[in-house]
Amino acid sequence: MKQKKVRPSKTRIEERISEISTFNLTPGQGTTRPTFSEPYIAASKYLFDIMEGLGLETGVTCHGNMIATWEGENNQPGILLGSHIDSVPHGGNYDGVTGVIAAIEAVQCLKKEGFKPLKPVHIIVFAEEEGTTFGHMLVGSKASLGQITQKKLASLKNKEGKSYLECAEKFQKIFGKPLFDYIRPEMTRAMLELHVEQSVVLEEKNFQVGIVTEIAGAQEYIISIKGLANHAGATPMKFRLDAVAGLGEAIVGIEKTITKHKSPLGVATVGSVSCFPGAANIIAGEASFSLDIRDVKKENLEILERNMLSKIGKIMDKRNLSLEINRTSSSIPIVLDEGIRSLLEEVAEDNNIPVLKMPSGAVHDSAEIARFIPTGMIFVPSKNGRSHCSEEYTNAEDITQGCTILKETIRKLSLDQIFK
């Protein structure tokens, strides 16, 4: 007798996302859930309890990634499902979390149907996707493939001066070890990630689901400027080496450069600025700012980086200010696997769910995994295109649609007999 398909539960998805949102350092001011923080540990415990309740084998890797495995009939190359639960400061409740909840929901429905996967299915929660706790983005996914050494993990520090490595070891002690630490491409059939779109395209074109074609690359820098601290009243304008004035002209220069950049998906952001000593009656001797540049084409990102940094350099030379550019993290643009993409489209068609093929301006763990393993991403809409803010919202009906495609693609992948 053909087993009746179980549709992902909108209520359960909604309840679980809202429960996770309670694990937060800044209630009432958006969601702040730094990697390995107390709320992060509490959210992890909540998720592990659900996954253990589903009979999955759980644990934390030496890189701080959470893994929950649904054993297959044999250990043929497995399927990875995943995303992240760390948030930016004062961010939203859907970035990353939606993909983890959707992965759990898809497995729960397949289990309810009595489905037996041939290949093992691993749900992974990658640590430090945002990079806003330890200053380097996509750490967990990069490290899971050996792209970041343990030595580097020991050098990444949070605001309390604790290293990523020591925090990951503490985190692993709480939850125990998983079946594997490293993702091995030869043992992995595919990776699938459902994620909120974080822009307006799906909403504007009236789609509930997007299939991602390519993921933008990102370069992030901390740019430090040194001038001469001096008296704000007694120092004539022509004698000043004002670091904040240099910072201001640099930010205008960045805007001019990105406006001239010939690529629709090229963007540049100065998200944080600071100066020292920082008093009204002192000309600041020091100033620094973050610079985040993105593009979906590698060559465009290289051109953008060259133009940006030379523009900033010229401004500082003209002002006799000294400049230090420290690149903190990067992710190279990547086109996602054709085969997985057409499988996602085929499944969407089989389930009468119209989908829009589209690039991702945000970076994702999938970008790092896709360098080694056939990877696919499913997008669901962000209300008013808002993300990385407390207004971030995606309605559960759309998530359910995306989750249906995720679930049915897992079924197909976990039964297909060929590696690729």
- What sign has the CA pseudo-torsion 172, 177, 183, 189? negative
Segment lying near Mn ion (by CB under 5 A), choices 92-100, 208-216, 272-280, 303-311: 92-100
Residue closer to Mn ion (CB basis): 17 or 110: 17
Answer for which of 105, 128, 130, 286 binds ligand HGY (CB under 6 A) is 130
Q: How far apart are CA 138 and CA 148, in angstroms?
A: 10
Q: How far apart are CA 52 and CA 107, in angstroms?
A: 12
Cross-strand pairs, 192: 81, 376
Beta strand 78-84 pairing with 286-295: unpaired
- Distance between alpha carbon 31 and the CA centroid of its chain, in Å? 15
188 CB burial (10 A radius; 0-12, 13-18, 19+): buried
- Report the site for ligand HGY in 358-377 (rule: CB under 6 A): 362-363
Residue whose token pair is 């997985």: 340
**CB 97 to Mn ion: min, Å:** 9
Residue closer to ligand HGY (CB basis): 36 or 70: 36
Q: Which residue is nearest to ligand HGY (CB)?
A: 362
Residue 137's binding partner, choosing from Mn ion, ligand HGY, none, with beta-carbon cut-off 5 to 8 A by kind?
Answer: ligand HGY
Residue 363's binding partner, choosing from Mn ion, ligand HGY, none, with beta-carbon cut-off 5 to 8 A by kind?
Answer: ligand HGY
Q: DSSP letter at 43?
A: H
Angle between helix 243-260 and 298-318 (nearest 10): 150
CA-closest candidate to residue 299, choices 252, 262, 349 = 262
**CB 364 to ligand HGY: min, Å:** 7
Answer for which of 95, 105, 128, 295 binds Mn ion (CB under 5 A) is 95
**CB 5 to ligand HGY: min, Å:** 32
CA-closest candidate to residue 255, choices 268, 274, 241 = 268
H helices of 263-297, in order, are none
Largest CA distance in the chain: 89
Residue closer to ligand HGY (CB basis): 66 or 363: 363
Site for ligand HGY contains 85 (CB under 6 A): no
Answer for which of 8, 39, 96, 117 binds Mn ion (CB under 5 A) is 96
**CB 130 to ligand HGY: min, Å:** 5
Per-residue mark of binding to ligand HGY, 88-117 (x: CB under 6 A) = -------x----------------------
Residue 8's binding partner, choosing from Mn ion, ligand HGY, none, with beta-carbon cut-off 5 to 8 A by kind?
Answer: none
Answer for which of 80, 81, 85, 137 binds ligand HGY (CB under 6 A) is 137
The answer for residues whose C-beta is within 8 angstroms of residue 265's C-beta and 6 or more apart is 216, 294, 295, 296, 297, 359, 361
Size of the site for ligand HGY (CB under 6 A): 6
Contact 215, 359 (CB under 8 A): yes
**CB 92 to ligand HGY: min, Å:** 10
> How far from each other are the two terminal CA atoms of the chain, in whole angstroms?
30
Q: Which residues bind Mn ion (CB under 5 A)?
A: 95-96
Q: Which residues bind ligand HGY (CB under 6 A)?
A: 95, 129-130, 137, 362-363
